[in-house]
Structure 1
Amino acid sequence: MGNGHVTFTTSDPDEARDTLTRLYLPLELLPERGELAMRLDATAHTALTIGLISFGPRIRVRCPPNAHYHVVLPLAGRARYHSGDGPAVVSEPGTATVFAPEAPAELDWAPGTEQLCVMLDGREVERELRQLLGRDVGPRLAFAARMDLSRGPARTWVEALMLLTRAARQESELLSHPLAARRLEQIVFDALLTGQPHNYSDQLTTGAASPGRSAVRCAVDLVQAYPDREWTTGRLAAAVSVSARALTNGFRAETGMTPMAYLQNVRLDRAHQDLLDTDSSRTTVTHVAGRWGFTHLGRFAAAYRARYEEPPSRTLRRRTW
């Protein structure tokens, strides 16, 4: 998957199929009476694609087995889904459906249905799971098909999707920074893995003993030395050969905070120094925030003010040299 934002409308079924095939995967469109009025607003990132899609009249969509995970979230209307040998699932606003790789799927969209369709790179999702667990996995990752969007974790996941979508639509300066863009992708992956039930959920939530101080110390040193790397708790845990749960417990015992909270403080310190050292005519707060992986300017400003007792814009206006 590449990077880019696409808006598209068509009444030609072949043109609609070709566009969706390019953004998502090969598929077959079967519109009722051969008519459609497709509207598409999609963003393709490195490891996921997010698209708002509607077809107008009733339509069936057939998808072959593929290498990715898919989540569909109806925003209006009603749809029926069937994947592999599993039971059919009916979804309306407030619920979503998760499809596993390597199984054919058929989707039946009622007239007027509008959906957010998300495709996540299967290898990236499973790599993130391995890093969260701190070990290789056995059976293929399998999510529960139905996602309740009223639950807190699911709402967090949708918020991360919307943040990525808004940033792309606005050609946000934040997404010009690979660290910030990749961090948003990781938030989407981690929120799905920790919020939606699957066959490894119990292992992710089971408590683990804290690692020795040496593992925490090594993780701290890595964060201090390489704060610009695309760290997640899982990746940091894998780097010091412990599970994500154990590392989190160890960090809380040694530092009083989680690994990601500690990483945020380190990045805030680096951003603070950049704002002090750079002429305001040569940079912006948005640029500095994005450089250090902060993807939401309001939250960055609030965290910055809490740590340094002034807004980042004021720091930028006063140089130390």
Structure 2
Amino acid sequence: MAERNRQILLKARPKDRPGPEHFELAETPLPEIGKNEVLVRHRFLSLDPYMRGRMDDSASYAAPVPLGGVMEGECVGEVVESRHPGFAPGDWVGGARGWQLYSAAPGHTVQKLPAVEGVPPSAYLGVLGMPGTTAWVGVTEIGQPKPGETFVVAAASGAVGGIAGQIARRMGCRVIGIAGGAEKCRYVTEELGFDACLDHRGDLGRQLDEACPNGIDVYFENVGGAVLQAVFPRMRDFGRIAFCGMVADYNVRPLPPGPSLASVVRKRLRLQGFIVTDHPRAWPSWREHGAAWVRDGSLRWKEDMAEGLENAPAAFTGLLEGKNFGKLVVKL
């Protein structure tokens, strides 16, 4: 076992775009575990857009990372020491926290990872983890699409959007993705099976009019900004919008003006923001459905793997700029 832990700390709070000056790589002693705790050697770290909000000292649904604190993030890894009767060295677990190589965790905060044929442990940070469950909640509980409806999803090649669109297709919808660039759009239609994918770098309004001539029934929002402004006036009466993320605004200060909300009343729209941790019962439900679809090959997913803890800050900055292709994971 290594004698030191390595961690990425929050050195300063960014005013807009985070950069290397906002992070610090530190070495610390290995954490000591107490009764009913386990020591986990992290093997994979998830990088997700919500982490940008944790870098700000402002009110949100979760506390910000303190200056000098370990950056927040979910990991999967192996138990190397246990003082909990339910875990033994060698067990793979999810729920370990932080941009670091080791963590001490109470046993009730981590879960053993079920073995699924053909699914690597890193998938529990993506398709079978928080992003996949987020897609499941946003589609089935918030959007509630009906067969024959038009379902549009932004960031369609990403970890959440790609799964959300595939779920909507299974529910009988006509699914239109929005992504950045020809390569990602081809992946969305050819690999994920969407009916169409629109490149937001072009004239998105015109493309939406052509792809959705009768309007949009359900919109799964991951991006915000100009994409939301193009989608909003094309919502149909009684449409639903699941607000999952607004990544286009995360590095912008002050925030730009948004679309006119008069349409919410006129079209009787339902707009709902959601956080996946508010839906604990959805996790086992998604694991049951998602794992079966992964096993039979009907659910497609993609990872974008970075190497090394020291490269996590640069990879995270690229994530906020749309440079990743698939679920962004750091191999530790």
TM-score, normalising length: structure 2: 0.27
Higher relative CO (Cα under 8 Å, sequence separation at least 6) belongs to 2
Higher helix proportion (structure 1 or 2): 1
Q: Higher strand fraction: Structure 1 or Structure 2?
A: 2
Structure possessing the higher radius of gyration over alpha carbons: 1
